[in-house]
Structure 1
Amino acid sequence: MSEAPMPPMALPGPGVVHVWTVRAPLDDGGPRPLPTGELGSAEAGRIAAFRRPRDRLTYTVAHIALRRLLSAYSGIPPGRLRLDRAPCPRCAGEHGPPLLSGTAGPPPHFSLSHSHGLAVVGVACAPLGVDVQRLPTAGSARRCLHALHPAERRELAALPEERLPTAFGELWVRKEAYLKGLGTGLCRGAAADYLGAGGPGAPPPPEGWSVRNLPAHGGHVAATALRADVVHRTVARRLPEEWLYAEDATDLIDGARTRHRTRHRTRH
Structure 2
Amino acid sequence: MTEQPLSGGAVHLPDPAAPGAMRAGEVHVWALRVPPDDDGPLPLATRDLDAVETRQAAAFRRPRDRLTYLAAHVALRRLLSAYTGIRPGRLRLGRAPCPRCAGEHGPPVLSGTTGPHFSLSHSHGMAVVGLAGAPLGVDVQRLPTVASAQACLPALHPAEHREMAALPEGRLPAVFGELWVRKEAYLKGLGTGLCRGAATDYLGAGGPGTPGRPEGWSIRNLRVGDGHVAATALRADAPHRTVARHLPEEWLYIEDATELIAAVRARH
Secondary structure, in 3 states, of the residue corresponding to 2:94?
Answer: strand
CA distance in 1, matches of 2:87, 2:139: 26
CA contact (8 A) 1:87 1:93 kept: yes
1:102 Cα deviation from its structure 2 partner = 2.5
**Which AA in structure 2 matches 1:43?**
E
Task: Confirm whether residue 113 of structure 1 aligns to residue 108 of structure 2.
Answer: no
For 1:53 and 1:216, locate their aligned partners in 2 and report how far apart those are by CA, in whole Å: 24
Aligned-residue offset at 1:81: 0.1
Q: Are 1:83 and 1:101, in contact at CA under 8 Å, matched by a contact in 2?
A: yes
Counterpart of 1:168 (choices 176, 196, 202) is 176
Residue among 52, 59, 75 paired with 2:85: 75
Once the two structures are TM-superposed, the CA of residue 11 in structure 1 deviates from its matched residue by 5.1
Q: Contact between 1:237 and 1:262, CA under 8 Å: does it hold in 2?
A: yes
Equivalent of residue 207 in structure 2, options 199, 210, 230 = 199
TM-aligned CA deviation for residue 97 of structure 1: 0.8
Q: Which amino acid aligns with 2:211?
A: P
Separation in structure 1 between the aligned mates of residue 179 and residue 216 of structure 2, nearest angstrom: 18
1:50-61 correspondence runs (5 A): 50-61=60-71
The 5 Å alignment of 1:150-229 reads 150-229=158-237
In the alignment, what sits opposite 2:45? Answer: 35
- Letter in structure 1 aligned against 2:30: W
1:95-119, CA deviations, whole angstroms, 9 ceiling, x for partnerless residues? Answer: 111111222xx42000000001100
Deviation above 2 Å: which 4+ runs of structure 1?
A: 7-11
What CA distance in whole angstroms lies between the structure 2 residues aligned with 1:11 and 1:88?
30
Letter in 1 for 2:23: G
2:33 to 23, 26, 47: 23
Question: Contact (CA 8 Å) 1:11, 1:108: kept in 2 or not?
Answer: no
Which TM-score applies when normalising by structure 2? Answer: 0.92
Q: What's the CA shift for 1:203?
A: 0.3
Deviations 1:31-83 (A, max 9, x none): 01011110000000011111000000000000000000000000000000010
Alpha-carbon distance in 1 for matches of 2:21, 2:166: 42
Aligned Cα root-mean-square deviation (Å): 1.1
| Mapping 1:229-240, distance limit 5 Å | 229-240=237-248
* Aligned residue number for residue 139 of structure 1: 147
Q: Does 1:262 align with 2:245?
A: no
- 1:87 aligns with 97
Aligned position for 1:4: none
Matched, 1:122 2:127: no
Number of residue equivalences: 252
Q: TM-score, normalised by structure 1?
A: 0.92
Q: Tell me how far apart the structure 2 counterparts of residues 224 and 12 of structure 1 sit (CA, whole Å).
A: 16
Q: Alpha-carbon deviations, 1:141-177, whole Å to 9, x = none?
A: 0000000000000011111000000111000000000
Distance of 1:254 and 1:170 partners within structure 2: 30
Q: Cα offset for 1:201?
A: 1.2
Matched, 1:149 2:154: no
Amino acid at match of 1:36: T
Percent identity over paired residues? 73
Q: Which runs of 5+ in 2 are unaligned?
A: 1-16
Structure 2 Cα separation of the partners of residues 148 and 160 of structure 1: 18
Tell me if structure 2 keeps the 8 A contact 1:115–1:133.
yes
- Is the partner of 1:26 in helix, strand or coil? coil
Deviations 1:181-234 (A, max 9, x none): 000000100000000000111101000001100014211110000000011110
Q: How many angstroms apart in 1 are the aligned matches of 2:241 and 2:116? A: 17
